[in-house]
């Protein structure tokens, strides 16, 4: 193993975590053949196979499981050393590592561009993950900061709300309910619904919002892709519960319409999450301060809220300003 490289270990970690060569290639911005080559080289250094394929799925061998444990430690030690060196460079020479759930990639790149404009020389590393993947990366210390809607409850993390996150019910523009006002949930759930997959923040928020009505949904499609859901709704397959931040373009061009449903929009929060005792590099500290102070305003400019969501946001803001806040985090 003396000739194994950090690059090979990082590729190996990604393939093991995602159980997929193609998904690892996408995350690492490599081609699939390049990923396969790195794994073969690492297996050559180890002298043992690290993966086995059963059907269409790949699994770690016993040797692979053992190497993954040591690989995590090596990668973490290297990143800690890199972070220590970054402290000497300050913000300008630093690398910002930030992860986000899928709905966040509709606005976070623009926010990062504004941050980088103010801090020349900053290097940005943005990764998009499911909530489960993001929690694993936080636990394994693989990222500095994480942006999500439903932060973990454990005491090892610090979650700080920085912007409102409204959810709405969207329909095609010619839907029969478009002109109705104050649609009852009992009426809404009779419509064909297109849902995000179980375990996603969107699915959790929907189940929590609809309460007992969630069990009565007429589900015609479940899919992991918000883009696919939007296209299915536009095509007339049904209605959907989605983040307002993911449909602003479609609302502007009127290919989608927000239905006026009782209790909507459902207003949650975007949270910035980090390990509580993690020593953040200067660039991550600077981005945290930037996002907490200006994130809500920047997000509103990048992804304007639908009218109903904007009104709900103002109502919540007025209520919050009328009473003192003793917590940085509110339950979703």
CATH architecture of the region 165-267 = 3-Layer(aba) Sandwich (3.40)
One digit per residue, pLDDT tens: the chain, 332 residues?
Answer: 677 899 999 999 999 999 999 999 999 999 999 999 999 999 999 999 999 989 889 999 999 999 999 998 888 888 878 776 665 555 666 788 999 998 888 889 999 999 999 888 888 889 998 888 898 898 888 899 999 999 988 778 999 999 999 999 999 999 999 999 999 999 999 999 999 999 888 999 999 999 999 999 999 999 999 999 999 999 999 999 999 989 988 998 999 999 999 999 999 999 999 998 888 888 899 999 999 999 899 888 876 665 544 444 444 344 334 333 333 443 33
pLDDT at residue 55 in the model: 87
| pLDDT, position 306 | 56
Per-residue pLDDT at 305:
60
Largest CA distance in the chain: 69
Domain 90-163+268-321 architecture: 3-Layer(aba) Sandwich (3.40)
pLDDT of residue 91: 66
Architecture of domain 6-81: Orthogonal Bundle (1.10)
> pTM of the predicted model, to two decimals?
0.66
Contact 152, 298 (CB under 8 A): no
Q: Where are the domains of the chain?
A: 6-81, 90-163+268-321, 165-267
Query: Do the two domains 90-163+268-321 and 165-267 of this chain adopt the same fold?
Result: yes
Give the pLDDT score at 92. Answer: 60
């Amino acid at each position: 193993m003396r000739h194994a490289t950090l690059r090979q270990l990082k590729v190996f970690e990604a393939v093991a975590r995602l159980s997929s060569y193609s998904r690892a290639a996408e995350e690492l911005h490599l081609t699939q053949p390049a990923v396969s080559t790195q794994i073969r080289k690492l297996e050559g250094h180890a002298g043992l196979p690290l993966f086995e394929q059963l059907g269409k799925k790949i699994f770690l061998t016993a040797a692979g499981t053992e190497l993954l444990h040591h690989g995590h430690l090596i990668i973490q030690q290297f990143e800690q050393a890199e972070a220590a060196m970054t402290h000497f460079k300050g913000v300008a020479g630093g690398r910002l590592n930030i992860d986000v759930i899928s709905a966040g990639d509709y606005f976070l790149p623009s926010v990062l561009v504004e941050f980088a404009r103010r801090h020349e020389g900053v290097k940005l590393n943005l990764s998009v993950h499911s909530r489960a993947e993001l929690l694993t990366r936080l636990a394994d210390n693989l990222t500095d900061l994480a942006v999500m809607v439903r932060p973990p409850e454990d005491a090892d993390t610090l979650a700080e709300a920085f912007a409102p996150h409204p959810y709405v019910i969207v329909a095609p523009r010619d839907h029969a309910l478009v002109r109705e006002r104050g649609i009852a949930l009992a009426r809404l759930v009779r419509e064909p619904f297109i849902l995000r997959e179980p375990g996603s923040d969107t699915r959790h928020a929907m189940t929590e919002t609809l309460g007992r009505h969630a069990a009565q949904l007429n589900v015609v499609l479940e899919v992991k892709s918000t883009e696919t859901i939007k296209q299915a709704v536009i095509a007339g397959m049904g209605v959907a519960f989605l983040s307002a931040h993911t449909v602003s373009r479609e609302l502007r061009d009127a290919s989608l319409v927000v239905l006026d449903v009782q209790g909507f929009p459902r207003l949650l929060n975007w949270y910035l999450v980090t390990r509580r005792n993690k020593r953040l590099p200067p660039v991550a500290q600077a981005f945290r301060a930037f996002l907490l102070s200006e994130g809500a305003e920047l997000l509103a400019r990048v992804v304007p809220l639908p009218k109903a969501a904007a009104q709900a946001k103002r109502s919540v803001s007025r209520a919050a300003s009328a009473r003192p806040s003793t917590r940085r985090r509110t339950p979703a």
